[in-house]
Each structure stands twice: as structure tokens, then as C-alpha cells.
Structure 1
Amino acid sequence: MAANGTQAFAPVLAALQTMQSNVDRAQKGQAHEFLEQFQKSNEAWNTTFMILNSADATTEAKLFAATTLKGKIIFDFHQLPRESLPELRNTLLSLLAQFSQGPKPIRTQLCVCLANLAIQMLEWKDVLQLVVSTLGNDPNGIACVLEFLHVLPEEVTEGRKINLTEDELRDRTVELLEENGNQVLTLLIQYAQSSDAASKNPQLMECITSWIREVPLNDIVNSPLLDVVMNALEADSSFESSVETLCAIFRETRDVDECLAIIKTMYPRVMSIRPKIAQAAEAEDFEMFKGLTRIFAEAGEAWVVLIARMPEDFRGLVEAVLECAARDTEKEAISNTFIFWYELKQYITLERYMQARMQFVDIYLNLVDIMIGHLEFPKPESGNDNDLFDGDREQEERFREFRHQMGDVLKDCCEVIGVTECLQKSYVKIEEWVNTYGPQATAGNVPEWQKLEAPLFSMRAMGRMVPPDENIMLPRLIPLIVQIPR
């Protein structure tokens, strides 16, 4: 029987092998066409299960089978008689148990299959209960339950590609998400409290993130899960997923009036991790630093209206974003702050938020210094000033684009604190260079030229903001520029 089964899908395996081998384009084209036709066929339903259950099929072939099955359930569901759906469901649950330990890509595809079956199998009313009871008793199966919970809201949200009427999809959304929200919350809390490893599991964070829109946010923030998410920042394995969860929470609190109680709960928790900025910078843990920058910047973006309304209460958050910008020696994280500075500028330059504008003058003055510092071209390791990026043209192009973005931030600063104050910053840095390095400069050697070019570039970036009648800095800048050796 195994031999017959293998023979049944041998052409599929052969075509996959052709696609992965070093053959001519015509052969690959034929194999690709064959696989496309196979995926559309009725036979693909049984064949994919045979491949997934075969000991002879490679991992790549099984992933292809799982992906094909997903496409069949989403696009070709009409090919199946309704009476066969319970068997399809049971087979998928059995396969998930089989692949519970991986490979993860196959397990993920099978979870997506089960989620899309759940959406379309309207008569299946106990979706969550059946999945949990079937897979949740086995420690390995819990990974499948978490993955299913992760993908279910996403697949329901994308359900417009499924052949259901709007009313059917709306009703199914209520059944699968809204009516299961409290149970999912309870399950996630129970799992998080089951062990320290569980509380640091990235899959748990992904589930929380997926269900943020389906469960009242207040219920999540006031549950033990908030502690779980914050504590997950302490572990390398869960740090990134915890950052994603926090940023998802922030995005859901943009309606600050409606979410004020949640923000009051979140704000001190967010500010409690500010010391990690310095720790990550000093340890040169750039991934952690980038994640922390995202947390503070995206919290600022979400709560920018409150910052403008209550600048004293939220000053700490603005200072934290500024600290992230200042400590970003690798220039890898600072771009995450650009939107925040722009949106804050948009509010505090309005007449009604004049108090906030005055409160943040010192911060924007510091921001000008930080941006000019980051504008400096790197010093090449090779010492060759003609190749600043050691041959990495892509990095060079990214940096040039990055400089223009920082120029936009400098324009934002001009709008907040005034052009004269910003130009004064550039003037001081140019003057420092002229006094320190000017006498050493020759036609063939300009020492520390990066420290001169950066403030000159900043002046150029801010040029459009300078009114024609500016009569404080321009009369001082022109004579100073003339002193620069050529």
C-alpha cells in the first residue's frame, strides 16, 4: 500500500525535485505548470494528505503539500461535499498532533488550514473547545494550540477572500472571535502561569498580540498578562515578540480620551524600563536598543495628543525618545523616532498647545545637536576618505537617504524653536571646527572634515525654513563660512 501511495504522488515529487535542481528553464517551466495544475485539481485533496503522511517525502515536499492544502481550503472549498468536512477536520487535527514538534513552517500552514476550515465550516460550533481538548493535553500539542490561536484572528480578518456572504462572515467572526475572547484570555493567563518558560514563550506574546483587537483592551491590561508581557522583555528569546505586543497595545490606545484609564496604567510601566536604554547602549546590544526605541517612540506616537495637552505629565516619555536618539551610535534605531518628532511638532506648533511648545524648547534644542552629530559621515576603517563605506555602496546609499530624513527632523525643530536658534547650533559647530582644525587644514588635507561637513549639511537642510529677512544668524554665518579653508 505504501508503494502504491508513493506511486500516486511520485509525479509531484519529481516536479518538485526538478524545480529545485539545476536544469534548464524549459524543464523548470514544465514542472511549474504541472504543479500549478495539480494544485487546482480535485486529486490534490487526497494527494496532499498522502504526502504529509509519507515517510518517503522530504520536508520540502511536505511543506508544499501543506501549502497546497491551505490553498485548496481557501479557494477550492466548493470541491468538497459538506458531509466530508468532519473527516477533513479530524484529519487536520491528527496531522497537527503529528507535526506538533515541527517543522514549524509545516505546523504553521496546517494551523492556517484548520483556521480557514473553522471559518467556512459553519456547523462547527465548538471550535476552540475541540482544538484545546484534542491538542492541549499534550505538552507538544500546546504549541499547536498557541499557533492556532495566533493565526485564527488574522485569518478571520482576511476572510474576504473566502467564499462566504458578508452576513455569514460577520456572524462567523462573532462566533469565532467575540464569543471566544474571554475564554482565550483565560487560557492564555493559565498557560502563562503554568511555568516560567511558558511566560517567556514568544508564541504566547504572538497570541496576545493577535487577540488584542478581539478582547477588550482594558481586560488585558488589567490582567496578569501585562506583567507577563513586561517581564518577557527580560529574556532574549521573548524580547522581540514582547516589543511587538506592547506596540500593538499602544496602537489600540490612539483614541486617548476613550483609553485614558489604560494609558494611565501603561505609562508608569513603560517608563519603568527607561534605564534599559542606557544599559543596552553600554552593552552594545543593538537589537535590544532598537526594540526599546520602538517602544518609547511608538508609545509617543500613540499618546502624542496627551503629550501636547499635559506636557509636564508626559515629559519623561519625550525625554526617553530623545535619549534613544542620542545614544544610537550605530544609527540603526533613530529612524524609529522620526514620525514621533514630526507628529509632536504638528501639535505643539498649534496655538492651543503653546504651553507644551515652551515646555519642550530645551528638548528640541538638544535634538538639533543630536541630529547634526548623526549627520556626520563615518570614518572609514581603511583610512581611505575616498571610500567611506569600505566598498558597501548599498550602505552608502542608505546613509545618504538617512541624512535627508534627519534633515526633515531639523526642519521640524525649526518650526518648534525657530530658525535662528537652529542655525545658531550649526554656527557654533562650524566655529568650533574653524578654531580647532582650520589652522591645520591644507589644500590636500582637511582634518576631521566630517565635523565640518555635518553642520554645513544641516544648514543646507534647514535652508528652506530661513526667511529672506533673517538678520541675526545669516550676517554671522557668511563671514564664518568664508574662513573655511578651500
Structure 2
Amino acid sequence: MEKPTVALVYQAVQALYHDPDPAGKERASVWLGELQRSMYAWEMADQLLQLKQDVESCYFAAQTMKMKIQTSFFELPPETHIALRDSLLSHIQSLKDLSPIIVTQLALAIADLALQMASWKGCVHTLIEKYSNDVSSMTFLIEILTVLPEEVHSRSLRIGANRRTEIIEDLAYYSSTVVTLLVTCVEKSGSNEKMLIKVFRCLGSWFNLGVLDSNFMANNQLLMVLFQVLQRDETSTNLHEAASDCVCSALYAIENVDTHMPLALQLFQGVLTLETAYHMAVAREDLDKVLNYCRIFTELCETFLETTVRSPGQGMGDLRTLELLLICAGHPQYEVVEISFNFWYRLGEHLYKTNDPALHGIFRPYIQRLLHGLARHCQLDPDHEGIPEDTDDFGEFRMRVSDLVKDVIFLVGSMECFSQLYSTLKEGNPPWEVTEAVLFIMAAIAKSVDPENNPTLTEVLEQVVLLPETVHIAVRYTSIELVGEMSEVVDRNPRFLDPVLNYLMKGLREKTLASVAAKAIHNICSVCRDHMAQHFQGLLDIARTALVLARLPLEKIAECLSDLCAVQVMALKKLLSQDPSNGKAADPTVWLDRLAVIFRHTNPIVENGQTHPCQKVIQEIWPVLSETLNTHQADNRIVERCCRCLRFAVRCVGKGSASLLQPLVTQMVSVYQVYPHSCFLYLGSILVDEYGMEEGCRQGLLDMLQALCMPTFQLLEQSNGLRNHPDTVDDLFRLATRFVQRSPVTLLSSGIIVHIIQCAIAATTLDHRDANCSVMKFHEDDFELRKQLISQAMGQHGQQLVTQLMHTCCFCLPPYTLPDVAEVLWEIMVFDRPTFCRWLENALKGLPKETSGGAVTVTNKQLTDFHKQVTSAEECKQVKYFGEHSEVTAKRLKTAADENLKGSPTGQMGGTWHCGKPIKTHRKDWSDRVNP
């Protein structure tokens, strides 16, 4: 774009905020976005801030300045950095009264500049010295000091390990100066609420960074002020929240209690004084404060967890901490007790690992009281109508309760708890909502109760299936869930099979209970399949019947499978005969999904030499599936369902589907040329997995791969093709990897392998978990077995691949992908260690040593050490460790990445292949990956 005038930029900002026409707003947004990406943004933002025309233009300018410093700092020559710093400090001082949001944006810009501008030494000292004596400047000074430690670990800035260490050491050195400043602010401002909130936020930020000296803080006046604020009944909600956040940050910072003993003791004693204040908040029905106190109590318990388990009831292992959480569990609002769930889970985990009965006995009463409280919190309202919802907030809370109960039930004893719960129903006559909640908890622990010779379990099952239809429908719903969870009891007591199925069938006939009843029937069929063959005809219309089908005699499976598929096939035929203008009425996904479920769960035992009983049925329904695929070939959603159905059909019969191979591949290739749905690549990988080792199929499968690759490469070579189509990348390299696994000679001796490797090198930069994993799997998969075939390709592309991998580790990929990259580097090294050593040395020499801000990203010694560590590794896990813990591969400044990736080798295939922000996609439900 050409350089705009300030007036034009201001006009665009006004249109963005005030144009009544949505199209006008959109045009302004696009144009301003283009401006922010240009070099002119620096000057325009600076001028708008100088003009101070209104809040909107100043906010846009401040945000632009922050964004440019975060993402494009490399655009400025080093000699301009001091001028930029002085300009930002001038702007924040002149705009301090305009809007707090603008002050925050400028504070972030200054903080990000300080982190990247290595020449700005002792920035904290400079700022405090310049502004601490000016009361009017205190607001923005504290804001800068608040965001500065927060930005040290910001994902917006890629700061290498060296620079981060340097910054943290510098901030630690001046931390006591900051705390002293905050104390002075409190003394001067007295009870000024806004200033206290800012002071607490700032102190919490420095606690979070972990640089405050615990001995210095233990007797600091700020701690006393914090607890005074939290103890006062008249404290406002905002100030109370800021103080609570600060105490939680302090508790988190001292999690290693033994090294922070003086501060730990002060915090421990201070939090214990808040019980009275909690009760006062409950009495006043101030839920916000109650939640804050519960957060503090929970953080206290989390911090002192190991001490509590190690020495319960002694010193800072004082069990009054658990009492505080149980008091919170007694609050009528379930949101309060929910805060503590993670602590109870961690406590259960620690106690499970100790496996000390005496220790378990100490904590058992607390868990029993917790379970009692949870059962009460799970009760629906007495006037609730219908079944329990599982998608609203309360439904999600109940699911979390169920998970927590399963995690801690071992401390109480699942059988003992189950019996106690049942006795409350058996001996009393509780209201329906109590009954439902008790059944819900019983369902959570039913599977952990030993079903062998257990009269209580059989009695519960017997009584539940006798529940009349007149009870509240929520009770029936939860009782059905309980029956489904007790499938192992049914399996060991087959006499219950008929009454259980009859009970579940009643639920299946009611719309509101049908889903939970079907799930329960599925559980029964899964566990009791050996007892179910006689019930097949009665279950024919029920979902998941294929589980039972697989246990029928082989001669009956084909007939019954045909009957089971007939309903779905007839529905598909009917849809195919309809006018396509009917829209959703012709949607075949329901029927395709049902066929997929049938094939997925039909797994009869077939001896060698026997014809698979499902083979004939699949051949019969293929024409319908083929026509459905052809009719809906433009609709990615329906095509995915077709491919999923075919995938399970192929897996079901294995080699028995050979007669479908040629027509299926022909249709896949034909449709893919026009509509490149990635699911065809995935289905291709299934075919290679099943037939890749069959001599007569290899050439045909290679032809399929080559035919699918051409349109795939065309798609990925488009601008941003890799980033826009991560599913295609994922499925392409899953297909290629399956070929390497099943028929390596066929693929590696073909002409297409060079193009696939080039694409794979380019795709190493893709920041998408599944796609990157598939690419790395292709790169590393079993180089040793293919040495002779791969040597020529590695000779041509090895240096490029290693260089690209090192660049992507440093500048493109998130930490969780580094182990996959390490496996590739290991396989290349095992393939040819001397050559790899040379390739790695060249790649490391090409990495940037410092940023445009003057910050050292990596030293020559660190590069040399990394090279020596990797090339001398004797195991792959050593390479993984060095990759994850080395300063070389630690995330660098994004500016360095932007400067150096411009000229980095990117393995282009006619398009622009580059890395960028993480990609989020909705991944289809393909559970079949490397293994069947």
C-alpha cells in the first residue's frame, strides 16, 4: 500500500467504530489491518498518539504500536530504539488520564520493548527513578511494572532461553525496589481503593514470576495489608478480588515450601484467620467473596499438600486446612465446592501412591464427608421437570463429581460406600431428588465394586428393574444409567438378563429415555455378548446389535447381517430416488453412520481358509454406497461419512474385500480429481494397510497414490496451501507412511517419492499437531530397512531437510512437537552419522546469533555443545532430551525468526511454504491411525 495521510487513517478509524453500514465497517477493518502490517504503521500510530483526537484513534494507535513491537520489531534499525522508547514514555505520560485501556496497551508496548531491547539495561530502575517522585505518574508506572513480569513468558514474544534468563535475573535484582515502591504507594494513598487494587495486581504479578525474596516478603507490610483487606467485612468486591488474586499468587509461588519457610509460615497463619470472614460473607450471601475465600483455601491446601500428606496434623500439615475446604463444601451453591476439585484429586493421587493403610485411615473421614456433601450438591431442584441435563453448567458439574468420586473412592472403599448409599434408599423414604442423586453417585462407583458373589449388587439390580413407570422420569433416567454400569453383574448373573433387557426396552420406547437406554443396552451387549445370541432377533432394531451378531454361528451371521443392513440400505435407496431439491430430506448421513457402526462392531472369529461371512453382504451393498458417493461427491461432510463406512467395511472383511478394490479405487481417484476431499487419502491408507503386502495389488495401489498425489500437490502449492489444508497434509503423509511400512520397495523405487519428500520437507514448518505428527512419522519411519533405496534421495535432500528441521524447531513449532522432530534427526543420524554431523553443523551455523534488538539468542559455545550432545547420542531419547532442554531450540524472539526465515530454505514446490500461528481445525473422527 502507498503511504497514507494521518487524516485518512483517522477517517478509517472513525468508520470502523461509527459507520452505520456493516460493509463500510468491514472495508475499514480490512484497510486498517493492511496498514498495521505495513512499515507505515509505526509513523501513523506515533502521529495519532501525538494528536490525541479521541479515545478510539488513540486506542487503535496504542494497540498498533504494541502489536508492531511484538511481531515486527525487526523492521526498525537499532539506532531508532532509544527514540521509540522515549516516544512511548512521552505518550503514556500525556495520555495517562484519557483511558485506562490505552494506558494498558502502551504499558504492554513499553514492556515488550524493554524485553527485546537488550541495550536498555536496568529498565525497572530507570522507570522508578524517573517517575516515582511524581504522584500523577504513579498510575502508569505501576501498570508498566505490572505487565513487565507478565510479558516475560508471553507467547506473543519468542524470547530465547538466554535472554529470558538475563531478564529474570535483572528483574529479581530490582524486585525489592519494586516492593518498596508499592509500600510507599500504600502509605501515601491510605485507603484509596483504586491504588490498592493496582498495588495488589502488581505484587501478584511479581509473585507469579517467582523473583521475590521470601525472607524479605515474610515481614513486609504489604502482607499485613493484604490480610487486613480480606478480613474487613466492608471491603468492596473489586478490591477483595484483587487481594485474593495476590494471596493465591503468593501461595503458588511458595509451592516448594521447604525453600520458602518464613513466607510460607506467614501465609499459612494469615489464611487460617480468614474463616470468620468467610462465614460473614456466607451470612451476607456475598457469593463473590465466598468464591474468593474458597480459592484462597484451595490454593493453601494445594501448596501444603505434600506437607499435609507427609506429616498430617503436625505444623503446617495442620488438618484445619481440609476443614476449611469441607466448610466450603457445605455452601449451598455448587460452584463453591467445585473450586476445590483439583486439590481433592491430587490428594487422592498422593495417597494412592503411598499405599499406606494407616495414612489412608487419617484422611478417610474427610473423604467421607466430602462424598456426603457432593451427593447433596448433585440433587436436582424438587420442581425440576424432565431428565437431568448433561450439557448445562449443572450437568457438567455432575460429570466432574462423577469423575472425582471415581478417583477418591478407594480411600473409603467402593463396596462400603455403595452399601451405605443403598441403605439410605432402602431404609428411608427420601424425596425423589435425593433418590436420584444417590443413584447417580452409585452409578459412578458401580464398576469399581467387585461383582463376584456380591449379594448387595444383585439386590440393587433386582430392585432397580422393578421401579414403576410412575416414578419421576429423572429417577428412571439415572436408574437406567446405573443398570448400564452394572453390566458385569449381569454377566455373572445371567438370570437377570431378561428382566434387565425388558426394563431397558421400556426406556427405549420413550423419547426422553431412548438415548440413555440405548447406551445401557450397548454396555450390556458389550460385556454379556456370550449370553446374548438367543436375543438377536429381539434386538435387531436396537443400536449396536453388531456386538451380539459377531457371536452367532458363522452360517447365521451373513443372514442376520443382511437383515441388520437391509433397513439402512433401503433408506439409502429411497433417498437416492428422491428429487435432490429436497435438501436436508435427502441427507444420507444417519444411515451411513449406522452402517459404519454395524461394520465397526461386527468382528466374527474366522479360521484360515473360511470365507468371511460378511463378504457377501458388503458386496451386495457396495452399489448403493457407490451411488451415494457419486451423488453427493461435492459435499465433504457426506463424502467423509461414505469413506468412514467403507473404511469399517474394509476393516471388517480384510482381504475378503479384494473384489471391491478396483472399482473403489477407480471411483476414489475419479472424484478426487474434481473434489479433493482429504478423506479419500485416508481411505487410501486403509487400503494400503490391508493390501500393501499382496504382490498382485502393489502396482495398482502405487498407481492410486500417484493419481491422488497430483491434485494434492496442486492444492498444497497454492498460496498458504499447507496452512489452509492441514487435514490434507495429515492424510497424505499417513498414506505415504503406510506405503513405507507395507510396501517400501514399491514406493521408494518410484518416481513419486522425490516429490513426496520435497513436500514433506516443506511441511515440517506446519504448526498443526496431527499434520506435523504425520509428516514426522513419514520422515523417521524405519530408515534402516530402506537404506539402499533412500540413499539417493537423502543425498539430494538431506542437508535441506536437517536445516529445515532446525529452523522449524527454533521458530515455528510448539514444544510438544520437538520429540517427533528428534526422532527424525535420530533416524537420519543412524542412517549416516558422519554425514549427519556435517549437515547439522551447517544448519546450526545458519541460525541467527542475536536479534535486531541486540539480544543474544544463542552463543557459539551453546551451538557447539548442542552439536556435540546430539551427534554423540547413543539413544533416541537422548536426542529428545537435548532437543527439549537446549538453549538452541528454546523459543526465540519472533523478530529473529521473521528476519531469518525470509532467506531460510523452505523446500518450495512452486508455492510459498512458511510457518505461522497455530492452526485450529475441526478434525474428523478418524480413530484409525498407524495401527488398525
**TM (normalized to structure 2)?**
0.46
2:75 maps to which of 79, 104, 108: 79
1:99 aligns to 2:99 (yes or no): no
User: Following the alignment from structure 1 to structure 2, what is the Cα–Cα distance between the partners of residues 158 and 244?
Assistant: 19
Q: 1:305 to 1:50 in 2, by over 3 A?
A: same
User: Following the alignment from structure 1 to structure 2, what is the Cα–Cα distance between the partners of residues 75 and 409?
Assistant: 43
Q: Which amino acid aligns with 1:224?
A: Q
1:320 aligns to 2:324 (yes or no): yes
Give, in angstroms, the shift of residue 483 of structure 1: 7.4
Unaligned segments of structure 1, at least 5 residues? 1-6, 437-447
Q: Output one character per residue of 1:172-213: Cα deviation in whole Å (capped at 9) or x when no partner.
A: 4433x1221221122122223334325871111111111121
Q: Which amino acid aligns with 1:471?
A: N
1:88 maps to which of 60, 80, 84: 84
User: Residue 188 of structure 2 aligns with which residue?
Assistant: 194
Q: Which amino acid aligns with 1:454?
A: A
User: Residue 365 of structure 1 aligns with which residue?
Assistant: 368
User: Residue 402 of structure 1 aligns with which residue?
Assistant: 397
Q: Output one character per residue of 1:420-441: Cα deviation in whole Å (capped at 9) or x when no partner.
A: 332234224323653x6xxxxx
Q: 1:203 to 1:464 in 2, by over 3 A?
A: same
Q: 1:458 to 1:470 in 2, by over 3 A?
A: farther
Indicate conservation of the 8 Å contact 1:371/1:406, yes or no: yes
Give the 3-state SS of the residue equivalent to 1:299 in structure 2.
Answer: helix
1:178 aligns to 2:172 (yes or no): yes
Q: 1:270 to 1:55 in 2, by over 3 A?
A: closer
User: Following the alignment from structure 2 to structure 1, what is the Cα–Cα distance between the partners of residues 42 and 276?
Assistant: 55
1:51 maps to which of 38, 48, 55: 48
Quick check: 451-460 or 165-174, which moved more?
A: 165-174
Matches within 5 A, 1:339-418: 339-351=342-354, 353-380=356-383, 385-386=385-386, 397-418=392-413
Give the 3-state SS of the residue equivalent to 2:319 in structure 1.
Answer: helix
Give, in angstroms, the shift of residue 66 of structure 1: 0.1
User: Residue 839 of structure 2 aligns with which residue?
Assistant: none
1:140 aligns to 2:141 (yes or no): no
User: Following the alignment from structure 2 to structure 1, what is the Cα–Cα distance between the partners of residues 281 and 160?
Assistant: 51
User: Residue 257 of structure 1 aligns with which residue?
Assistant: 258
Q: Output one character per residue of 1:39-71: Cα deviation in whole Å (capped at 9) or x when no partner.
A: 133322222122123253x31221111010112
User: Residue 225 of structure 1 aligns with which residue?
Assistant: 222
Q: 1:132 to 1:49 in 2, by over 3 A?
A: same
Unaligned segments of structure 2, at least 5 residues? 470-932
Indicate conservation of the 8 Å contact 1:66/1:109, yes or no: yes
Q: Which amino acid aligns with 2:385?
A: D
Runs of 4+ in 1 over 6 A off after TM superposition: none
Indicate conservation of the 8 Å contact 1:372/1:454, yes or no: yes
User: Following the alignment from structure 2 to structure 1, what is the Cα–Cα distance between the partners of residues 402 and 81?
Assistant: 59
Give the 3-state SS of the residue equivalent to 1:94 in structure 2.
Answer: helix
Q: 1:129 to 1:262 in 2, by over 3 A?
A: closer
Q: 1:261 to 1:106 in 2, by over 3 A?
A: same
Q: Output one character per residue of 1:361-404: Cα deviation in whole Å (capped at 9) or x when no partner.
A: 22211112111101111244xxx62498xxxx8x9622112111
Q: Which amino acid aligns with 1:89?
A: R
Q: Which amino acid aligns with 1:242?
A: A
Matches within 5 A, 1:302-317: 302-313=303-314, 314-317=318-321
User: Residue 246 of structure 1 aligns with which residue?
Assistant: 247
Give the 3-state SS of the residue equivalent to 2:126 in structure 1.
Answer: helix
Indicate conservation of the 8 Å contact 1:304/1:344, yes or no: yes
Q: Which amino acid aligns with 1:426?
A: L
Indicate conservation of the 8 Å contact 2:254/2:260, yes or no: yes
Q: 1:339 to 1:46 in 2, by over 3 A?
A: same
Indicate conservation of the 8 Å contact 2:218/2:262, yes or no: no
Q: 1:482 to 1:156 in 2, by over 3 A?
A: closer
Q: What is the Cα-based RMSD across aligned positions, in Å?
A: 2.8
User: Following the alignment from structure 1 to structure 2, what is the Cα–Cα distance between the partners of residues 308 and 11?
Assistant: 66
**TM (normalized to structure 1)?**
0.85
Give the 3-state SS of the residue equivalent to 1:140 in structure 2.
Answer: helix
1:337 maps to which of 303, 317, 340: 340
Q: Which amino acid aligns with 1:300?
A: C
Q: 1:220 to 1:422 in 2, by over 3 A?
A: same
Give, in angstroms, the shift of residue 254 of structure 1: 2.3
User: Following the alignment from structure 1 to structure 2, what is the Cα–Cα distance between the partners of residues 294 and 478?
Assistant: 40
Give the 3-state SS of the residue equivalent to 1:157 in structure 2.
Answer: coil
User: Following the alignment from structure 2 to structure 1, what is the Cα–Cα distance between the partners of residues 456 and 263?
Assistant: 46
User: Following the alignment from structure 1 to structure 2, what is the Cα–Cα distance between the partners of residues 219 and 415?
Assistant: 43
Indicate conservation of the 8 Å contact 1:146/1:207, yes or no: yes
User: Following the alignment from structure 1 to structure 2, what is the Cα–Cα distance between the partners of residues 464 and 232?
Assistant: 48
Give, in angstroms, the shift of residue 107 of structure 1: 0.2
Give, in angstroms, the shift of residue 102 of structure 1: 4.1
1:474 aligns to 2:493 (yes or no): no
Quick check: 403-412 or 259-268, which moved more?
A: 259-268
User: Residue 448 of structure 2 aligns with which residue?
Assistant: 465
Give the 3-state SS of the residue equivalent to 2:334 in structure 1.
Answer: coil
Give the 3-state SS of the residue equivalent to 2:346 in structure 1.
Answer: helix
User: Following the alignment from structure 2 to structure 1, what is the Cα–Cα distance between the partners of residues 270 and 99?
Assistant: 37
1 or 2 for the larger relative contact order (CA 8 Å, sep ≥6)?
2
User: Following the alignment from structure 1 to structure 2, what is the Cα–Cα distance between the partners of residues 232 and 304?
Assistant: 26
Indicate conservation of the 8 Å contact 2:451/2:457, yes or no: no
Indicate conservation of the 8 Å contact 1:368/1:413, yes or no: no
Give the 3-state SS of the residue equivalent to 1:254 in structure 2.
Answer: coil
The structure with the larger Rg is 2
Q: 1:43 to 1:157 in 2, by over 3 A?
A: same
Matches within 5 A, 1:253-292: 253-292=254-293
Percent identity at matched positions?
26
Q: Output one character per residue of 1:202-254: Cα deviation in whole Å (capped at 9) or x when no partner.
A: 11111111112122233223322211222232322321122212222222222
Give the 3-state SS of the residue equivalent to 2:380 in structure 1.
Answer: coil
User: Following the alignment from structure 2 to structure 1, what is the Cα–Cα distance between the partners of residues 453 and 407?
Assistant: 18
Give, in angstroms, the shift of residue 416 of structure 1: 0.5
Q: Output one character per residue of 1:106-148: Cα deviation in whole Å (capped at 9) or x when no partner.
A: 0001111111222233333352343234333333321111101
Q: Which amino acid aligns with 1:42?
A: M
Quick check: 210-219 or 459-468, which moved more?
A: 210-219
Give the 3-state SS of the residue equivalent to 1:193 in structure 2.
Answer: helix
Give, in angstroms, the shift of residue 472 of structure 1: 6.5
Quick check: 316-325 or 85-94, which moved more?
A: 85-94
Give, in angstroms, the shift of residue 95 of structure 1: 1.7
User: Following the alignment from structure 2 to structure 1, what is the Cα–Cα distance between the partners of residues 455 and 321?
Assistant: 34
User: Following the alignment from structure 2 to structure 1, what is the Cα–Cα distance between the partners of residues 130 and 144?
Assistant: 12
Quick check: 470-479 or 244-253, which moved more?
A: 470-479
Q: 1:153 to 1:167 in 2, by over 3 A?
A: same
User: Following the alignment from structure 1 to structure 2, what is the Cα–Cα distance between the partners of residues 252 and 371?
Assistant: 30
Give, in angstroms, the shift of residue 159 of structure 1: 8.0
Aligned residues: 455
Q: Which amino acid aligns with 2:375?
A: I
Quick check: 45-54 or 201-210, which moved more?
A: 45-54
Q: 1:309 to 1:354 in 2, by over 3 A?
A: farther
Give the 3-state SS of the residue equivalent to 1:259 in structure 2.
Answer: helix
User: Residue 442 of structure 1 aligns with which residue?
Assistant: none
Indicate conservation of the 8 Å contact 1:122/1:172, yes or no: no
Indicate conservation of the 8 Å contact 2:107/2:140, yes or no: yes
User: Residue 802 of structure 2 aligns with which residue?
Assistant: none
Indicate conservation of the 8 Å contact 1:93/1:134, yes or no: no
1:39 aligns to 2:43 (yes or no): no
User: Following the alignment from structure 2 to structure 1, what is the Cα–Cα distance between the partners of residues 168 and 465?
Assistant: 69
